[in-house]
Amino acid sequence: MIRTQWLLLIYTAISLNSIFAEEHAKNAPSSLMSRLAIPDSSQIQVIETIDGSTNIGRIVEIGDEVIAFKTDLGIIQIPISKIKHIETVSAELIRKGEFWFPNPNITRLFFAPTARMLKQGKGYFSDYYIFFPGFAYGITDRFTLGGGLSIFPTVDMNDQLFFITPKFGLVQEKTFSFAMGALLVRIPNYEDEDIQEDDPEVAGILYGVTTFGQPDASLTAGLGYGFVEGDLADRPMVMIGGEKRLTRRTAFVTENWIFPGIDEPLISYGIRFFGKRLSVDLGLINTIGEGTIFPGVPYIDFVVQF
């Protein structure tokens, strides 16, 4: 049963991807022409051609069939028909002649969200510990909706966990963001056989979170109130974390929790490896106190942006 439903989910995802790819191909020429522009001095353009080469510089002239593109080596002529992709970015992203593409996973630390939002129409697929796939999508620049489920082997679909993660961006500035949201989890009752499978519990967290700094170096702090079936906790849990970009493709990430009534804080730390659209987190989870385990419990996730 689970295998059939999972295969159906994969088939649906592949079909949707094919439809989106076909639609993108139809719209590519007009979309490309709309991005051909002469940038100002604070911007740099990255052009990828169909032969796989990448050029960094600025467009200085646009013709009917060819553009003049100024690079560090001089001005080159690039046929418009040969351009696969063009991106205009801040000149700050060019370091020692290399394009430091933006971190594709700026809306989360490990488990916890940052206060940054997905742009409208942007989204990602994610997977935590293999058994917890999910997604998130920017409905608007200020509202992101996410969700997911567990895929434990041999467990019936009605007994899996399901969760949704709405988030509202109330303040979105260059170096300061504030958001509020929720984690809502449908939890089946595994202990009482007399309870029907259509009577699961709903638990989760209502939270507010603030992020200071820019994507390459930031601090995030949040407060969250846990709840079960409408009963809200008396005291909040506290989360403090951050990220610091180390190289073009790596960043240090940390996420730490203090739970009410628990003396030992939960800490986590690790490295995020990423490309333009894919990121992989490898970390360790531990506690501070008598329950410390050296070096910690391994953590892994990956995110694919679309």
Question: Has residue 15 been placed in a domain?
Answer: no
* Domain housing 81: 36-99
Question: Has residue 242 been placed in a domain?
Answer: yes
| Residue 40 sits in the same domain as residue 151 | no
Question: Has residue 111 been placed in a domain?
Answer: no
| Residue 136 sits in the same domain as residue 177 | yes
When pLDDT is cut at 50, 70 and 90, the band that residue 150 belongs to is very high
Burial class (CB in 10 A: 0-12, 13-18, 19+), 137: middle
Q: How far apart are CA 258 and CA 268, in angstroms?
A: 12
> Which two three-digit tokens encode residue 116?
């940054």
| Residue 147 sits in the same domain as residue 196 | yes
Q: Give yes or no for residue 20 having a pLDDT over 50.
A: no
User: Which among 145, 149, 102, 101 is positioned nearest to 123, based on CA atoms?
Assistant: 145
Domain harbouring 199, CATH code: 2.40.160.40
In this structure, the dihedral spanned by the alpha carbons of residues 114, 120, 126 and 128, taken in order and rounded to 10 degrees, is 30
Query: What's the helix, strand, coil split of the chain in %, to 5?
Result: 15, 50, 35
- The tens digit of pLDDT for each residue in 100-120 reads 888 899 999 999 999 999 999
Question: Has residue 104 been placed in a domain?
Answer: no
| Residue 65 sits in the same domain as residue 139 | no
Q: What 3-state DSSP class applies to 196? A: coil
Question: Has residue 14 been placed in a domain?
Answer: no
Q: Give yes or no for residue 23 having a pLDDT over 90.
A: no
| Residue 216 sits in the same domain as residue 297 | yes
| Residue 82 sits in the same domain as residue 194 | no
Domain harbouring 41, CATH code: 2.30.30.100
Which residues neighbour 266 within 8 Å (Cβ) at sequence distance 6 or greater? 256, 257, 258, 259, 285, 286, 287
| Residue 150 sits in the same domain as residue 279 | yes
Per-residue pLDDT, averaged over 183-208, amounts to: 79
| Residue 217 sits in the same domain as residue 73 | no
Question: Has residue 268 been placed in a domain?
Answer: yes
Number of domains observed in the structure of the chain: 2
| Residue 234 sits in the same domain as residue 282 | yes
Question: Has residue 195 been placed in a domain?
Answer: yes
Give 259 or 9, the one with higher predicted confidence: 259
Per-residue pLDDT, averaged over 80-99, amounts to: 85
Pairing type for strands 231-232 and 237-245 reads unpaired
| Residue 56 sits in the same domain as residue 171 | no
When pLDDT is cut at 50, 70 and 90, the band that residue 12 belongs to is very low
- Give phi and psi for 282, each to the nearest 5: -120, 115
| Residue 79 sits in the same domain as residue 167 | no
Which residues neighbour 281 within 8 Å (Cβ) at sequence distance 6 or greater? 105, 110, 253, 270, 271, 272, 273, 299, 300, 301, 302
- Give phi and psi for 29, each to the nearest 5: -60, -50
| Residue 144 sits in the same domain as residue 275 | yes
Q: Give yes or no for residue 126 having a pLDDT over 60.
A: yes
Look at residue 29 in the predicted model and tell me its pLDDT.
56
Question: Has residue 108 been placed in a domain?
Answer: no
